[in-house]
Chain A
Amino acid sequence: MPVETVKETYTGKVREVVLGSGEGEVKVGGQTTMPFYTFEGDMPNKPKIAMEVYDETEEWSDWAKEPFADVIDDPPSWAKKCQDTYKTDMVTLQLRSTDPNGSNTSADDAAETTKKVLDAIDIPLIVMGSGNIEKDQEVLKKVAEVAHGKNIAIGPAQEDNYKAIAAAAMAYNHKVIAQSPVDINIAKQLNILITQLGVSADNIIMDPTTGALGYGLEYTYTIMERLRLAALQQNDDMTNMPIICDLGLETWKTKEAKVGVDEEPTWGDPKTRAITWEAVTANSLMMAGADILVMRHPEAIKLVRNIIDSLS
């Protein structure tokens, strides 16, 4: 007797969002099935890697800095290296230096950096502020302005500052990254609030907030899976945006990615450990439904690419 494969059918579809402009356009989302379940539906766009570029790298370990040693003080060159050498799909510019509790560089400086990075690459750009509620409104407004016409994504837009950030994205035709604190209800509420401002639902990317492996990853995993099921099974048009996972930052600040042999002699080679940590985190989030993986290390990215290719 032949075995019949049990298949789920879905009525919903993840929104397809286009980032970048001209030749460099990249599409994300658009699937009608759970991640890589291509026997149940379509997955027109594979998950995309958005390599990180920082405007500040204090406290980075040597093995984190290693691949970028030649470009680490120059974000535009760094971005170009990610594009040309590591063939990343997109670049994420992390504006850490704007944090008022840190270097507190100005919004104008951030805009200047953004402009230079945009000039250096052809692929799409994502710009993430420091996460400071007040400062991000100012910084991302300027960033949106200088990036006019480039169709970038800006974020994170949170519950308490989404109005200003979404308005800036809307004014200059960019995408907005809606960040919720690992909470399915707030994720949906934020999407509703942003669309009520007049932003098209097709211009929103969801950031459910990422925990690294061992640091709450399972919470994010569940939320992402449920968001995706709501989109596919219930045809919920306020949870069917593509999902971005800002995991590089989260992974590389864990103890497991940072400490050396001197502190933890039994934990093995720190570089391999850190890369594996990032790759496992990224892979798990991809299985939960991530459409864009914000990652740091080229070796980790290589591992994740292998998985993407072998699954699709």
Chain B
Amino acid sequence: MPKVTFLPDNITVEVAQGENLLRAAMAAEVHISATCGGRGVCGKCRVIVEDSEGWREGGLPSRANSKVEHDGNPQRQDPELGLISNSYGNLTEEEIQKGYRLACLCTVEGDVTVRIPVEARRGEREVLERLKEAAAYGVMLTEEDVASLVKGVTVDPAVKKVYLEVAKPDLANNADDLTRLRQAAKAAGYKELEVDFLTLTNLSEVLREQDFKVTATFLKDHHNLHLVRVEPGDTTKSNLGVAFDIGTTTLFVQLLDLNTGEALSSASDYNPQISFGEDVITRIIYSLKGDGLKKLQETATKAFMKLATEALEKAKRKSEEISLVSAAGNTTMAHLFLGVSPKNIRQEPYIPVVTHWPHIRPQEIGISNLASGSQVFMVPGRASYVGGDITAGVLASGMYNSDKLTLYIDVGTNGEIVLGNKEWLMTCACSAGPAFEGGSIKHGMRATIGAIEQVRINWEDHEPMILTIGNKPPAGLCGSGLIDSLAELFLAKVIDPRGKFHKNLETKRVREGKSGWEYVLAEKEMAATDYDITITEVDIDNLMRAKAAVYAGITTLLDNVGVGVDQVEEFFIAGGFGHYLELDKAIIIGMFPQIEGSKVKFLGNGSLMGARLAAISAEMADITHQIANKMTYLELSVDPAFMERYTAALFLPHTEVSRFPMVEKLMLQS
């Protein structure tokens, strides 16, 4: 991997070939001012190329691609240099020839040394001591990693398509159509079928359409085998499933090939039910009024169809090919998706109608254009506030089958936490609010193109360095950008440990806006928006409450079991963060206890992954029932210690800073 050295700090970092130079600086914890998200507009991230692989033979290219010579050697093309400038932005010809480049517009191709000029640097800052390589980011799991987490999972979905050649009837073999179909199925290993009546109404035509060659769809349901569909010809190749994560704030859909287990495409969006209330409680209340329940259900099923259609279009497939939907959501979201009243989830003793759902026909919940005979499988939940999304996450993490003491944390609108191993599982839920998904944040957004995902703030002049997803003009802040902002504002002493702005700083970035005090991350001239992108004191309050709830939940669960953080051998962190959730930033704000990075794995959307596994494997779907039954539920609302732990955590990083030695050290430096 190419090495990039930043002068004058003389910090070297190895990056993947093709990495953006500004991102390389971020990875090296080297501050270069940058406010436009990395599209060459603000012109602040100037660096001077001091040395570059290929330099000796090559020399530096110029805008005019011209006559500049170095060491008397002829000009060479960009790609042969260690650093490629894709554009020079607003640099002058003279600057370019002097070796100035805009970091955000450069990609690293080989070893390179750059100097950060004084004006872009401003303010010394000691290198943040990372928790070690893996520690900084935790380990972001790849598809293969996830597959290997669940040992021995083979593609064997509950809904299967089988090509059958049914015997043609004649006067000698005059058995009825179904009997002959049964015989063909039996020969293929599918015995003792329960037959759905609806398959019979047009069976005679279906059998005869392609000369008694048909494809039968079987549903394996615990011990029974159902015949749910018969199609003419061989359609075994078109057996699609959909994994559906029903989040309170965000919905995710993944289109699956049930024959291979492969994910074909995906789509996501905010849950449109948000307009009826941001959290589960307000939605439950809405569902009790008039036709509220019906409205909420229709909104959910429509949103599902919209996302499924989007995913189908991306993969160029049809909705009639979908024979299985595997959905995971918290208990309230599951009730609302299926149109079952969640009324008693809200009131003590918090009782849902059902946690282990029967198989459901999509038509029964108003979804009509999937394959006939298709099924909806709901991943079972444990309790009113620990739903199928958590069961799915526990499945995806493999912790239910692990010897190691594992802590699973799902940071969503509700923070759910599971502790245990293959012997036992204990779980609790705390209300974090939608802040980490960009909800209830003035300029919050989901982790999509243009979202600010990484932030550094200079300790001296309080200028920001921001990176956006896709290096596009900033449009708002996603969860990881918010966590970064909170940590950086705190370390740069722009806010106090309660999250209140210091109002006497010499910077224009802290100001009193229409919604109170705020910090300007990107001026509108630099942004994709026609307003400045800021983080307000109210946003910070919401983030503080969210992180305090997560931390209090984790510590309450650990204390109840009598286990210290150090005894936990593996941590899985799930949630809809961007690609760059930095573990140490989450520790700096006191959201997670100080844990070793090498023990941490970021699972991404655990709920979706689990739903996918349950879709492609009937065995995995069965295991979800076992997991849900195995989890012991701890009700935090009746635990008086939880509230107190929450108040203690409403401070940066925590009222007891000694629990965070790393942060204590950083605070002394800053």
- Chain A residues engaging chain B, CB cutoff 8 angstroms: 159, 183-186, 188-189, 192-193, 196
Contacts and interface: CB of A to CB of B under 8 A. Distances in A.
A187 to B, nearest CB: 9
B496 A185 contact: no
Q: Majority SS of interface residues in chain A? A: helix
B655 A193 contact: no
Q: Which 3 A-B pairs have the closest CB atoms?
A: A185-B648, A185-B647, A185-B655
Given A185-B655, A188-B655, A193 B647 contact: no
Interface in B302-335: none
Contacts of B498: 159, 189, 193
Interface string B479-503: 0000000000000000011100000
Interface string B338-349: 000000000000
Nearest to A192: B497
A185 B497 contact: no
A186 B647 contact: yes
Contacts of A186: 647
A193 B497 contact: yes
Interface in B46-100: none
A189 B650 CA distance: 9
A8 to B, nearest CB: 22
B163 interface: no
Given A185-B651, A193-B498, 9 more contacts: A185-B648, A188-B655, A189-B497, A189-B650, A189-B655, A192-B651, A192-B655, A192-B657, A196-B496
A159 B497 CA distance: 12
Nearest to B657: A192
B364 interface: no
A70 to B, nearest CB: 47
B644 interface: yes
Nearest to B651: A189
B496 A193 contact: yes
A131 B647 CA distance: 23
Nearest to A188: B655
A117 to B, nearest CB: 33
A304 B650 CA distance: 38
B66 to A, nearest CB: 56
With most chain B CB atoms within 10 A of its CB, the pick from A183, A186, A189 is A189
A239 to B, nearest CB: 10
A183 B497 contact: no
B668 to A, nearest CB: 12
A188 B658 CA distance: 13
A251 B178 CA distance: 89
Nearest to B496: A193
With most chain B CB atoms within 10 A of its CB, the pick from A184, A185, A193, A196 is A185
Contacts of B648: 185
22 contacts: A183-B647, A184-B644, A185-B644, A185-B647, A185-B648, A185-B650, A185-B651, A185-B655, A186-B647, A188-B655, A189-B650, A189-B651, A189-B655, A192-B497, A192-B651, A192-B655, A192-B657, A193-B496, A193-B497, A193-B498, A196-B496, A196-B497
A193 B647 CA distance: 15
A77 B505 CA distance: 46
Interface in B620-664: 644, 647-648, 650-651, 655, 657
A218 to B, nearest CB: 15
Nearest to B502: A163
Contacts of A185: 644, 647-648, 650-651, 655
A52 B648 CA distance: 34
A247 B650 CA distance: 29
Nearest to B646: A185
With most chain A CB atoms within 10 A of its CB, the pick from B644, B651, B657 is B651
Nearest to A190: B498
A189 B655 CA distance: 6
Contacts of B651: 185, 189, 192
A200 B462 CA distance: 27
A24 B497 CA distance: 38
B655 to A, nearest CB: 5
Contacts of B497: 189, 192-193, 196
A62 B498 CA distance: 45
A193 B496 CA distance: 8
Interface string B241-270: 000000000000000000000000000000
A99 B229 CA distance: 79
With most chain A CB atoms within 10 A of its CB, the pick from B496, B498, B648, B655 is B655
A189 B644 CA distance: 13
Contacts of A188: 655
A192 B652 CA distance: 11
A94 B473 CA distance: 57
A256 B655 CA distance: 38
B124 to A, nearest CB: 22
A192 B496 CA distance: 10
Contacts of A183: 647
A189 B548 CA distance: 14
A196 B495 CA distance: 12
Nearest to A159: B498
Interface in B470-525: 496-498
A196 B648 CA distance: 18
Contacts of B496: 193, 196
A181 B496 CA distance: 20
A135 to B, nearest CB: 20
A199 to B, nearest CB: 14
A192 B648 CA distance: 13
A184 B648 CA distance: 9
A183 B655 CA distance: 12
A247 B648 CA distance: 26
A185 B497 CA distance: 13
Contacts of A196: 496-497
Nearest to A186: B647
A188 B657 CA distance: 11
A184 B647 CA distance: 9
A185 B498 CA distance: 12
A308 to B, nearest CB: 32
A193 B497 CA distance: 7
A44 B195 CA distance: 90
A188 B497 CA distance: 12
